[in-house]
A and B are shown apart, each in its own frame.
Chain A
Amino acid sequence: MIGDWANAQTWSPLVLAFMAAAATYLWRAIGTTIAAKIDPDSDLFQWIACVAYGLFAGLIARIIVFPVGVLEQSAMIDRLGAMVIGFIIFFLTRRNIFAATFSAAGAFLLVTWLRAGGVL
């Protein structure tokens, strides 16, 4: 059992926000300190950039497949479908980020609106 003081809801959200910020800044500070020893032309540097990219992709895929919070209230098929439409537009427009983002978000908005209105 944990004491009442340990429950996050008994704390001030503002204080917690600053604590979470400090805990997040730790990653930035560690990276900045170690970075002084890294040569931007080295293999190590390239590998680290690859790790960052892999991490992003994993995070985005997780948000789409297993969302937490508000997104949980949307259907998996809607989220995946929006991504697929976005990628089709992305390659059709020769990698236009703007067109891809807005067609994916537009498709998702439309389908959620239709579901909310009871059409779908």
Chain B
Amino acid sequence: MRFRLCIDAAPRLRQHIADGRTTITTPTQPEDTPSHWATYGRGLIDAAKLPGWMVVASMTGFGALVNSADMSMTVAVVATIFIWGLPGQVAFVEFFLLGTPVFSLLLVSSLANIRFLPMSLSLVPLFRGSKIGWRFRYLWTFMMSVNTWVGLLRKVPDLTQEQRWSYYFGYSTVCMGAGAIASAIGYILADTLPFPVTITLVLLNPVYFAFVFAATRSRAAALALIAGAVTGPPLYLLTPEWSLPICGIIAGTAGFYADRWLNRRAA
């Protein structure tokens, strides 16, 4: 993969002076793989395909929801960019309408996005091989959504360690920009969108992610997904606030060990 990329770029010879000797390298060597702008651009292009449009659809639905709650358009855009996780954003609007205490509102909208903790844990180590990538790790997790997380994880085998951050940065720029614009558009269109369209836009997000995850090639992840789908709803009935973290730990552990058990049996 790396080799194929190099053919796209015009071959350049570079002189390196090290240890008092001059060496000439060609772009087939890892340090000369395409520039950060090139991988940034690839991130932009990949995100502008299906993922970006899914963000547009779901954030349009969110904008319409904010409008129906009589909040301002600024709130819609701010919530999208800074909370940047739809379940928490939706919980924010709905608990506001319920008139709950501020503490409950913050707790629920934050817990609805607790997935960002395990997601950061599995995203950040990927940037360790790059100086710039590592320096800006708190920015990368700020820009992280399910889309950008999956987008990078899928692409990791095709990227060098140094290319990861620029690809991810490009990918996230499109997703965040599209999300911000779409929530404003959704807010403006709220009164003109027919009800079936609004409700379908709200459903689109979970449906899309169900298939994004179902497409995983890892057996451990697939087993964790099945366990999570089965345990999620009953746990919600037991404890609405804490169901997600509990479900994640139970289902994740079940998937992880079931996969190892199957491996051992096959061996």
Contacts and interface: CB of A to CB of B under 8 A. Distances in A.
Contacts, number: 309
B220 to A, nearest CB: 5
Contacts of B92: 16-17, 20
Contacts of A13: 71-72, 75, 96
Contacts of A77: none
B100 interface: yes
A46 B202 CA distance: 31
Contacts of B100: 7-8
B181 to A, nearest CB: 18
Interface of B is mostly: helix
Interface in B237-264: 237, 243-245, 247-256
Interface in A4-54: 6-9, 11, 13-14, 16-21, 23-32, 34-36, 38-40, 45-54
B125 A51 contact: no
Contact of A55 (B79, B141, B228): B228
Contacts of A113: 194, 196
Of A50, A59, A97, most B-chain CB atoms within 10 Å: A50
Contact of A97 (B50, B197, B230): B50
A30 B146 contact: no
Contact of B228 (A11, A29, A53): A53
A31 B92 CA distance: 22
A92 interface: no
A116 B199 CA distance: 12
Contacts of A71: 199, 202-203
Contacts of B254: 54
Contacts of B266: none
Nearest to B93: A69
A51 B228 CA distance: 9
Contact of A98 (B50, B230, B250, B251): B50
Contacts of B116: 24, 27-28, 31
B223 to A, nearest CB: 8
Interface in A94-111: 95, 97-98, 100-101, 104-105, 108-109
A97 B256 contact: no
17 contacts: A7-B101, A16-B106, A24-B88, A28-B144, A30-B120, A39-B125, A48-B121, A49-B218, A51-B249, A52-B122, A53-B213, A55-B118, A57-B225, A58-B247, A59-B206, A63-B87, A68-B91
B78 A17 contact: yes
B259 to A, nearest CB: 8
A66 B235 CA distance: 11
Of B99, B197, B225, B253, most A-chain CB atoms within 10 Å: B225
Contacts of B159: none
Contacts of A100: 211
Nearest to B94: A69
A56 to B, nearest CB: 6
A82 B210 CA distance: 12
A68 B196 CA distance: 17
